[in-house]
Each structure stands twice: as C-alpha cells, then as structure tokens.
C-alpha cells in the first residue's frame, strides 16, 4: 500500500483576509493599482510611489484581499515597457505596502509577463504573479514561480496587447478558452507549481469582442470545472461602455458592479476591479444569496 507524502505549506493555498484562496472560497476582491501613465482607465493617477501607496492603503481599508500592482499598460494597442522601467515603477510601491500590511493584510500581486520584474516584486514582498500570457512569454517565469512558491494567475489572451482587438475570432469561445486554461494549468504543475497555488482568468477584453465577453460571463460554470479558483476582471471594460453607451471608463461603475454580481452568483472566487469598496459590498451580498 502506497503512502501519500504529507502536505507541506507549499502545497496549501495562499491565505487572504477573507480566507484561503481555494475553490469555493471567497469572494475575494482584487484591487487594481496601476502605476503607469497610460492605462486605459486610471493611467497617470498613481505615477508617484507615495500616491500609489496611499491608494493601496485605501484599498486595504475598503476590503481588498489582493492588491495587484502593474507597471505596464496592457490596454488594446499598447506597447511593451522595459523591465527596468517596470521595476522602477512597481518595486518601491510593493515594498512599502508589504511593510505596512505584513502577512495578515492583503496579499500583493505583480501584474507582469517578465520574470525579472516578477523576481524584483517577490523580493519586495509580493506573493502572487499575475501573468496575462499564462507563463508563455518568458521561459523563466514558471521556474521562478515554482522556486519561490508564488501563487500564479494564468490568463487567456488571443494575440498580444498590441494586436488582440484586431478582429478576434473563435469557433467556440468558451470551449477554446477553457481548453487553453486547462492546458496551462497542466503546464504550470509540470513546472513544479503546486495546483493549490494556481488561479485561472478567462481574460475578459483580451482578444475578445463584446459578444465573446458576454458569452464567457454567461457560462462561467465551464471554467469552474477546471478545478482551480477562477478570477474575472470586468472592471470598466469597453464592452460595458458599448452596452450602456458610456464612453469614459471611470463612469462605468454600475455596469462593472452588474458584471461582478453575475460573477459571484456564478461561483467565481475572485473579481479584479478598480472600485474596491463598492465591489466588496456587492460581492458579499451576492455571496450571501449564493449560500442560501
């Protein structure tokens, strides 16, 4: 009779203020903190480290479980930012917030597709790597995440940020995106990343039309069958503006909250948003309804 080895801390899901990041947990609110001059919604708001740290502290006070710090805009049509510049923008912010929060506050996440940027963030106190390329862009990223026991968010994107909205096309968007994410989970575990440290993201707005986004949101149950927590990031996205006739991303709060409600009622564990306080209320209420 074989004896399974005992589980170690490395095999356990990361703990967040609202519990362990596991299937069926949460809901967890991931706050977006872009320290960039050109992000689609909040570019230029937090280009100083001091302003970004203040914003991160406010997110924590509003109920964020994770604060996702990004130093490179990945809006449609955007161009890559050098690793050195991403590190310059993000590392001081992560270090200051990590010192402020310790291990009991919100977890810090680095939004990057470059291993050297992720390494600098992990050195500064980040515990999550949010990679829009699902570990495909940089061959060192998977090994780094495994070595450092980081939680990873694996996102689907058709194309690159520069090209992704140039006529995206699928035969069956849910089936194809789910298959891609299941494959990337397998690749991550093969690289030594514990399954308990993997989250998937179908990539709303990343190489998808309005119809694709709505189809994904209407069939989120398909992604939950992959067997790892699901994160969805609908916040202020273009499809909301197109449906509601709202041009300015910052004015799309109520549409975002409608999408958040749909996600939580469908059982999604994590939502990634700009407006943490409002989202926390909606997520908690929808979770209470779901539990009944």
What residue segments make up the domains of the chain, in order of their start? 14-291
Give the span between the Cα atoms of 154 and 126, in whole angstroms.
16
Instruction: Give domain 14-291's CATH architecture.
Output: Alpha-Beta Barrel (3.20)
What pLDDT, on a 0 to 100 scale, did the predictor assign at position 159? 75
Q: Residue 201: helix, strand or coil by DSSP?
A: strand
Mean pLDDT calculated for residue range 181-192: 98
Rounded distance between C-alpha atoms, residue 186 and residue 16, angstroms:
24
Mean of per-residue pLDDT scores for the chain: 92
- In order, the DSSP letters of 136-194 are -S-TTHHHHHHHHT-EEEEE--SS-TTTTTSS---SSHHHHHHHHHHHHHHHHHHTT--
Confidence grade of residue 1 (pLDDT, cut at 50, 70, 90): very low
pLDDT, tens digit (0-9, with 9 covering 90-100), for 233-255: 999 999 999 999 999 999 999 99
DSSP per-residue string spanning 3-32: -PPPP-GGGSPPEETTEE--TT---EEEEE
Catalytic residues: 237, 272
> Of 29-43, 122-136, 142-156, 209-223, which gets the smallest average pLDDT?
29-43
Tell me how far apart the alpha carbons of residues 203 and 213 are, in angstroms, rounded to a whole number. Answer: 9
């Amino acid at each position: 009779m074989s004896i399974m080895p005992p589980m170690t801390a490395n095999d356990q899901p990361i703990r967040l203020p609202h519990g362990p990041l596991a299937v069926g947990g949460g809901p967890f609110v991931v706050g977006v903190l872009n320290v960039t001059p050109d992000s689609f919604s909040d570019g230029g708001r937090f280009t100083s480290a001091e302003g970004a740290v203040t914003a991160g502290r406010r997110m924590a006070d509003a109920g964020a479980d994770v604060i996702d710090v990004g130093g490179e805009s990945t809006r449609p049509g955007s161009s890559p930012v050098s690793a050195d510049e991403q590190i310059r923008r993000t590392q001081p912010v992560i270090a200051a917030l990590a010192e402020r929060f310790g291990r009991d506050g919100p977890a810090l996440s680095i939004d990057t597709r470059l291993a050297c940027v992720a390494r600098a963030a992990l050195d500064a106190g980040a515990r999550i790597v949010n990679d829009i390329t699902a570990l495909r862009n940089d061959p060192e990223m998977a090994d780094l995440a495994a070595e450092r026991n980081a939680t990873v968010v694996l996102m689907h994107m058709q194309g690159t940020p520069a090209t992704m909205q140039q006529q995206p096309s699928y035969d069956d968007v849910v089936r194809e995106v789910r298959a891609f994410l299941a494959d990337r989970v397998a690749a991550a575990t093969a690289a030594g990343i514990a399954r308990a440290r993997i989250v998937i993201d179908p990539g709303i707005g990343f190489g998808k039309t309005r119809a694709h986004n709505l189809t994904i949101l209407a069939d989120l149950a398909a992604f939950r069958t992959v067997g790892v927590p699901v994160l969805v990031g609908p916040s202020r996205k273009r499809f909301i503006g197109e449906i509601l006739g709202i041009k300015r991303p910052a004015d799309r709060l109520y549409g975002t909250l409608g999408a958040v409600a749909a996600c939580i009622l469908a059982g999604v564990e994590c939502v990634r948003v700009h407006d943490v306080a409002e989202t926390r209320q909606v997520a908690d209420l929808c979770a209470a309804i779901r539990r009944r």
